[in-house]
Amino acid sequence: MKNRRNFLKSALVAGGGMALFNKNSAFAMGQNTSLPKGIIYTSENPGKWAQKIAGHSPVVTVDKNSVTITTRHSMSQKHYIVRHTLVAIDGTVLGEKTFYPSDKKAISNFKVAEGHSMLYATSFCNKHDFWVTKFKL
Ligand SMILES: [Fe+2]
């Protein structure tokens, strides 16, 4: 499990280093990153998955210190959401949940300590790659 987390974290910071998480970075501003296209997809930059935004871009709801991440994607043995993470602006992983094809929905909930204002929600589909939504608390 730790290897998967490290892979995701290194994928997020590769190329652009921690600048990727800087609030003024290109990624934070919804633009292309220094990463090559084809690694991270967003609703603003869905790349080859432009027809897949609704079912893959993580949807976030915030209620005080409670963050719920939903990926509106079906779950089956062959095609499912593998994982959610909640990541701080500095790259610290605040929460993570791994799903299985037998799970009915890809929904995760995390309690967030005070002091965070911007966060990233990630969702990984076994067929349609790695998606990120940046949001404010
Ligand atoms: Fe998918």
Mean pLDDT rounded to a whole number for the chain: 84
Number of folded domains that form the chain = 1
Q: How far is the CA of 75 from the centre of ligand 1 (A)?
A: 9
Ligand 1 center from residue 24 Cα (angstroms): 30
Residue 8 lies in a domain: no
Is 97 contained in some domain?
Answer: yes
Residue 113 CA to ligand 1 center (angstroms) comes to 31
- Range 59-79 average pLDDT: 97
| Cα torsion through 61, 63, 65, 68, rounded to 10 | -30
pLDDT at 35: 84
95 belongs to a structural domain? yes
Q: Is residue 92 part of a domain?
A: yes
- How many whole angstroms separate alpha carbon 107 and alpha carbon 99? 9
Residue 93, pLDDT above cutoff 60: yes
CA 97 to ligand 1 centroid distance, Å: 17
Provide the domain limits for residue 102.
41-136
Question: Ligand 1 centroid to 47 CA: how many Å?
Answer: 14
Is the residue at 117 inside a domain? yes
End-to-end CA distance of the chain: give it in Å, rounded. 27
SS3 letters for 38-83?
CCEECCCCCHHHHHHHHHHCCEEEEECCEEEEEECCCCCCCCCEEE
- Asked, for residue 125, whether it belongs to a domain, the answer is yes
Report CA(81)–ligand 1 centroid distance (Å).
7
pLDDT band with cut points at 50, 70 and 90 for residue 5: low
Given a cut of 50, whether residue 43 has pLDDT beyond it is yes
